[in-house]
Structure 1
Amino acid sequence: MPKEILTLQHISKSFPDGDRTITVLDDISLTVKAGEFVAIVGPSGSGKSTLLSVIGALLTPTNGKVVLDGKDISGFKPAQLTATRASNIGFIFQSPNLIPYLTIKDQLLLIGKINKISKKANRNKMNELVQELGLQHRVDNYPSSLSGGEKQRVAIGRAFMNDPKIILADEPTASLDSERGRTVVEKIAYEVKTRRKAAIMVTHDERMLDLCDRVLHIEDGKLIEGKSSQKKNHPTPAQT
């Protein structure tokens, strides 16, 4: 049976707003297992980004527990949360946010240096990822010479460099056309399946949902289990 990577137990998140309190997340429970790719969809202001921030240890929940790889991180101190993000969580955002003065190779190697991975292991991981992501001919290029799809593939590689337990993708196709967007989501799905990671993707792009194992809907801070994708189209190495 696949291992449970993430468990949310009755998560709520509220923010003060003048003399009242706004509840953005309302009693959310969720479990995501190794090798599982989950999509979360919902209208603007429904709580998607807040939920991703709580899962990603960027926000502390008002109530409830966040259990990541068997550890309850809800009560972690700031330094512990920073260490958790660095070692266990990989982020992919709308914008790749690449460092303009670093080559693709150095963008990826930097993550290993931050996490104090040995030079040999760090370089081996970088080489493995650029091969899988089809970037081997671009490793010495700077971000300015890459296409939008290539930049997002670098962002995927960067997210996997620290061998995280879970990948969090926030609208990763927002700035891409449909073909490049699908390629990027296929890459995420392939990495999740082959490396047995958990992944959650927040998206408005319903054309990508068949690549996910589950689709969850969030509205007014409440999470609703949607129907599983009817047609799975997880990529194979040949497709990548």
Structure 2
Amino acid sequence: MTLIMQNISKNYQDGEQVVEVLKNVSLEVKQGEFVAIVGPSGAGKSTFLSIAGALLTPTSGEITIGGQALSSLSTKELTRVRLEKVGFIFQGANLIPYLNVKDQLLVIAELAGHRNSEVKQRATQLLEELGLSHRANQYPEKLSGGEKQRVAIARAMMNNPDVILADEPTASLDAERGYSVVQMIAQEVKRNNKAAIMVTHDERILDLVDRVVRIEDGQLH
């Protein structure tokens, strides 16, 4: 399932002024492709990622996920897209403190209305793939930074989304842990044939992606 962003612009009104955050940008990410977006702070990276994941609506332009144009969808349908077609990995792991590792995954499936034995099997399989089986019953406070971020990867993959979006996934990790976390994202992208975009400042992990796109002054280069 390909992610296509066509002629995306995003403007904000700031008093009398119109601020252009994104200026007519286009990007296509194919199944099994892992793309990094790099650029200075304030260049529009997070806005770009939020629009790709249907968290923000562009001022103009179109996003298509797996052949479905998002502009034609209702608010309810967009919520369904975010739950089922997009997996988010945030800067901090953003885990729920009172849920154990396995339940962090199961709650995502439940939100999407999936409550069967296959769901539990999938959670078990993902934790195994990411080397977290022995942590399944632990709570976030007992996990290291790297383990938390691996749980976040597993959670993003839980509903088998078409698109994975990662926002600075190494920001709170040291160099070695950061590298291994991005390595795991890359493996999951290839293993499960996902389209993935990662926003990062971390130049040391760019050898793990298929393509690097630079964003500057709201434009892609």
Question: So what's the TM-score if we normalise by structure 2?
Answer: 0.98
Question: Take 2:120 and 2:72, find their aligned partners in 1: how far apart are those partners?
Answer: 35
Q: Which structure 1 residue ranges, 4+ long, deviate > 3 Å from structure 2?
A: none
More moved, 208-217 vs 75-84: 75-84
- Indicate the SS of the match to 1:123: helix
For structure 1, list consecutive stretches of 5 or more residues without a partner in the other structure.
225-240
In the alignment, structure 1 residue 167 sits paired with structure 2 residue 164: yes
Aligned-pair identity (%): 58
Aligned-pair distance for 1:74?
Answer: 2.5
Please say if 1:203 is aligned against 2:164: no
Of 14, 27, 30, 1:30 maps to 27
C-alpha distance in structure 2 between counterparts of 1:34 and 1:138, whole Å: 30
Q: Deviations over 1:19-41 (max 9, x none)?
A: 11011000101100000000000
Stretches of structure 2 lacking an aligned partner (at least 5 in a row): none
Query: What is the TM-score when the length of structure 1 is the normalising length?
Result: 0.91
2:81 is matched with which residue?
84
Determine if the alignment matches structure 1 residue 176 to structure 2 residue 173: yes
Alignment check: 8 A CA contact 2:2 2:65 kept: yes
How far has the Cα of 1:111 moved from its partner? Answer: 1.1
Q: For 2:141 and 2:94, how far apart are their aligned partners in 1?
A: 12
Report how far residue 121 of structure 1 moved: 0.9
Give the structure 2 partner of residue 126 of structure 1: 123
| Deviations 1:122-160 (CA, angstroms, capped at 9, x unpaired) | 101001100000000000100000000000000000000
Rounded to whole Å, the distance in 2 between the matches of 1:31 and 1:196 is 15
Q: Is the 8 A contact 2:89 2:156 kept in 1?
A: yes
Matched, 1:148 2:107: no
1:186-225 to 2 correspondence within 5 Å?
186-224=183-221
Is the contact between residue 37 and residue 199 of structure 1 (CA under 8 Å) also seen in structure 2? Answer: yes
Q: Is the 8 A contact 2:80 2:112 kept in 1?
A: no
The superposition leaves residues 69-120 of structure 1 with CA deviations (integer Å, 9 ceiling, x where unpaired) of: 1011024332221111001000001100101111001111111111122421
2:55 aligned to 34, 58, 61, which one? 58
Give the paired residue count: 221
Residue 229 of structure 1 aligns with which residue?
A: none
